[in-house]
Amino acid sequence: MDTARLKPFLILFVLSAALCIHFWTTSRYPDLNAKATLSATAPLSSLGFVPLFEIDPGDPLWKRIALDTVNWMETNRRGMTFAFLFGAFLLAMLPLFRTIRIKNGFAGSLFGLGVGTPLGVCVNCAVPIAKAVRDAGASLQTALAVLIASPTMNIVVVSLMFTVFPFYVGMGKILLTLLFILVVIPLSCRLWFKTEAAAELPAASKKLTECFFTQDAPKFTSWGGAVHWAVQSYLKSLWFLLKTILPLMILSGFLGTVIVTLMPWDSLGHIGQDTGFLQSLLIMAGLAGLGTFVPAPMAFDVILPSVLLQAGLPLQYAAVLLLTLGTFSIYAFLIVWRFISFRLACFMFGVTMALGMTAGLAAAAFDAAVLGKAERNVTAQAAPQDNYHDPYLIRTDTALSFAEILEKHAAAPVAFTEFDSAPVEGIEISWAAFTQGDRDRDADKLFTRINGEAAGIEMPYRLSYIIGQIGNLAMNTQSVAAGDVHNNGRPDLLIAGDPETLPNLLLYINTGNGRFVRQELPLTEDIRDVISVALADLDGDGWLDIVFSTYYGENYVIYNDKGDFRAENMRQLGETLEGITSAFAFADTARRGVLDIFLGNWSVGPQFLDAPHSGNVILRARDDDPRSYDVIALEGGATGETLTALFADLNGNGHLDLYVGNDYVVGSRSDEIYLGDGAGGFTPAGAEFNKKFPGAHSTMSIDRADITGDLRFEYYIGQIAYMTQTASVADAAEMRREHNLLCSLERLHDHASAPPPGGNPDAALEKCVRETEFRNALIRVTNFVTDACENLIDENERIMCEIHLVNFRKHCVPPEYARLSAQDAETATASERYMRYCRMFQEATKRKNFSARAARDHALEKSGTLLKAANNDNSNILLRRGADGVYKDTALEKNIGYGGWTWNARFADLTNNGLQDLYIANGYAASFSLDNNIFYRNTGGGVFAEETNASGLSDYSYTAAFAALDIDGNGALDIVTVPTDAPLRIFRNNKALRNNAVQIELRDAATRNSHGIGAEIIITARDEDGKEHRQIREIKGGGGYKSFDQPVAHFGLGKIKKIEAIEISWPDGTQSRIEGEFPAGRRWRITRPAAE
């Protein structure tokens, strides 16, 4: 470079460097890191990530294409803006060198590799940069190398690729890409494209660069002149790029959108059915053409194939898309054709396709080799008995009999004092004062977290290969219910713990000093693998009974004999089911004074609509026998995979209706509503009503509460909710952490400071690290990362991992899935409880008919039988009823749209200020990153603020269920969670004690619904200024996910010291209003005595 040109070069260089630093630090790398954190859970649209517009599947084709084209442009907006701005800098700056063309083609490609790799922009965004490099005088090899290297060789994307794909697949892409850049491009330019490589710049490009240097010497003599020249040259370069290639960019986005609209990505999960080698090659060729054509955004090449892989796309096909998506595109094709030559554009397109097919064939071969090795290892470890490699973990703690508990741990019952005068005839009122306790009211955080062992609750867990069955939600999530089974005024805990332990149905009795002891239950050897639990007084004797479901389709009740649970009082509820009951809901459906039971059933996953395993039923209590039920099947609608259910009056006619939350999707529909007739009958709501009540896509929880103080219930539906339209990918990733950070997040170094005598001070940390590595291996196997087991150090864990690998690939996926990779050897070393799920899966697969399913889906879409999802953007749903009776989703405007992988989501006043807050338990067995449970504090008017870490409620364990209860009766709600991969947690409420509260519990001896399940309670109070405040609570018998709170209505009062009225809508339809002075700081018991 001439010294005279140094000044403008420095000006342009500094400005371009500033642009790069700003883009890399504020946009590109934060977004890439966020996508790496979210991995397969990153929100996707058809050709991008966060959509600007929701696409309704029912919209006309032209509208879907138009909106998706705009969404594609929005996804690429920042990257494309950078590309044009940076490309203009290169076009203005590089000609300052007398020559920048490297004559050696291989060296030119290597230089392009070095330039393109750190840029971190997609192939579409690399097009303007590559064109600017070429127009500035660089060699064709350099420009093409920049084009290919930028989207494919970025370090963050490469790291993500090795996380979600087998090592050999990721390495195959890297080697083939390097072959493309360093061998194919320079060699083809030397042999076949000499004319293109040697050609002079296009006339327009040459004219542009030449005009920069007319009479250049005077312009460079001063800094002022250099600045003027640099700005002028830059603007000319930017305009040149915009007018020459921006229109083709828009055209490319449109063409790509047309393709994926006509052939949606989710349709690829069905390919590969009954294919031989030749058919597979044709499929690979089609996928290679598709992947090479579409203008994919950055990291789309890794995330989309990973998602499709989990959805059922065979590995070899996913490998094809992994290489072709983002390496080249129709946009790059059009630019190469327009400005270089058509034959070079075709060559680049064809080479990308060929390399993609090579990647697919190599993936199939390596996959078969690794799987074959694992099969041989597993066969050599043949199990002499069931559960040999996966034995149950036998609990070592001792359960006490009821008599022993009374003798050793019985504390005086909570003393209730009769209220001086009962203001209402037929109502008895008593009260008990809140305890003072030892809570730290001045603690820094609202809650203090302790592990269950510190309170006497030992919940051992172990990670076996069963956690790798990600579709086996029944075995991979736990359950908890809170209630007073001894009628001593203190809430106890019923837990379905880790199914890997025996027994896993556990009853912990509250001893009144903040600790619990385990009470013995009459479980026979054949009752194991308990899935879901509940506490409810089914026979109406005033004592809460134990209700639970098992993995083998059997549901049971153990009737409570005044605190004792005897074998002779255990009965099966209904008949043995093919599926598994995952959701209980209780209600007096006909206002008869008895509790009916809804059984919501699950089988093998949401992809099998109408599986007979999943039929839901209602057990209708008989009037003549409090321990007998009639089984009533729910007719009409669709048979889904039910995870939650809630009885509530949804249409305002005074009768209980039923909301059924299903984990499946038919187009944009999932959940069902059954309208009650007031006599215990339920029929599908139908299309007209369903238009008024939206649902969700993957419902796991539903709850309702008055969050605004107007005595009207809002409904909150929890689903997979990683993204909202108001958040970016980075915002979503901020809520999550990489899985390898679990041990540090659990603060295990803190526990190591006081090891047991003679113990290893680092034992807890070492155990966590080993379990994390093992779990990650199982997760990766489930995501078809076949070589995930090979790096495990522990021999037993490696064998268990390989058992999961072999049996999962042979028995827990459709047989045709691994046609090109699985071996034929039989292996039967997995445990019976593992194989039961696989058998159910295979049976469902055999019945599955894709053409019939498509017809069924279409019929359901047209019929309106299922609820249309309130949104398509992966956010939870808050429904509020308008004056016209139509429910509207307001979750985003209330700031509670994000929920992670939501399981249980419940409202409760956790701060005692009179406002209902929201707590969400989340996580997922197959996720590569960790979800934090979420606490949203109600700031007033139903608007929420996320304060999880500030409140002390942070927990990154995989948690699906929790219960809210007042453990020590001090007037503040505590939370007990039951994680899958960590000890039970108790979050003790500290700061809520600064405010006043009252609690109201019901006792109804006049009916068999002794605890008033389904009752609504309204209180009225006045503050110091005389302003009236009213609140409503409900004694809930359903909703949530495998979780039941203490059946007590909790009302925070802030600084208010008394309430002046209590209104009760009893479940049988009776109304009561009680007026008087009811001081705060008390639990009030309101009793309807038995009729004389």
The helix-helix angle for 6-23 and 77-93 (nearest 10°) equals: 170
**Distance separating alpha carbons of residues 425 and 431, to the nearest angstrom:** 18
Most confident of 308-322, 596-610, 1020-1034: 1020-1034
The pLDDT of residue 60 is 81
Q: How far is CA 423 from CA 461, 983, 1074, 1077, in A?
A: 52, 47, 6, 11
* Residue 283, in any domain of the structure: yes
**CA R_g for the chain:** 32
- The count of structural domains within the chain is 2
Residue 729 has pLDDT above 80, yes or no: no
40-59 confidence digits (pLDDT tens): 555 556 666 666 666 666 67
Which of 814, 847, 880 finishes a domain?
847
762-820 confidence digits (pLDDT tens): 677 777 778 778 888 888 888 788 888 888 888 888 888 888 888 888 877 765 554 44
Question: Average model confidence (pLDDT) for the chain?
Answer: 82
Q: Domain range spanning residue 742? A: 737-847
What pairs with residue 545 in β-bridges?
Answer: 536
Residue 541 has pLDDT above 90, yes or no: yes
The pLDDT of residue 416 is 93
125-150 confidence digits (pLDDT tens): 888 788 877 877 788 889 899 889 98
Mean pLDDT of 377-403: 75
In this prediction, residue 33 has a pLDDT band, given cuts at 50, 70 and 90, of low
State the sign of the Cα–Cα–Cα–Cα dihedral 765, 770, 772, 773: positive
* Residue 51, in any domain of the structure: yes
- Range of lowest pLDDT (223-227, 808-812, 1038-1042): 223-227
List alpha helices for 936-1012, DSSP H.
Answer: 948-951
557-616 confidence digits (pLDDT tens): 999 999 999 999 999 998 887 778 999 999 999 999 999 999 998 877 666 655 665 678
**Distance separating alpha carbons of residues 580 and 616, to the nearest angstrom:** 10
- Helix and strand numbers (H, E) in the chain are 30, 43
Which of 827, 847, 867 finishes a domain?
847
Which of 372, 397, 429 finishes a domain?
372
The pLDDT of residue 856 is 61
850-883 confidence digits (pLDDT tens): 555 556 666 666 666 777 777 765 789 999 998 8
1042-1058 confidence digits (pLDDT tens): 999 999 999 999 999 99
Annotate 1007-1062 with DSSP letters as a single string.
SS-TT-TT-EEEEEEE-TT--EEEEEEE--SS-SSSEE--S-EEEEEET--EEEEE
| Among 692, 763, 754, 722, residue whose Cα is nearest residue 929 | 722
* Residue 222, in any domain of the structure: yes
Mean pLDDT of 491-504: 89
- Range of lowest pLDDT (139-153, 639-653, 862-876, 999-1013): 862-876
Burial class (CB in 10 A: 0-12, 13-18, 19+), 400: middle
The pLDDT of residue 115 is 84
* Residue 323, in any domain of the structure: yes
* Residue 821, in any domain of the structure: yes
**Distance separating alpha carbons of residues 404 and 396, to the nearest angstrom:** 18
Residue 395 has pLDDT above 90, yes or no: no
Residue 926 has pLDDT above 70, yes or no: no
Omega before 503 within 30 of 0, i.e. cis = yes
Q: Do 146 and 116 form a contact (C-beta atoms < 8 A)?
A: yes
Apex CA 834: angle with CA 963 and CA 826, to 5°? 165
pTM for this prediction: 0.83
* Residue 130, in any domain of the structure: yes
511-526 confidence digits (pLDDT tens): 988 899 999 999 987 8
pLDDT greater at residue 730 or residue 173: 173
* Residue 778, in any domain of the structure: yes
* Residue 483, in any domain of the structure: no
Element (H, E) at 556: strand 555-558
The pLDDT of residue 945 is 95
49 secondary structure, DSSP code: S
What pairs with residue 449 in β-bridges?
Answer: 987
CB within 8 A of 60, min separation 6: which ones?
Answer: none
Residue 200 has pLDDT above 70, yes or no: no
Residue 430 has pLDDT above 80, yes or no: yes
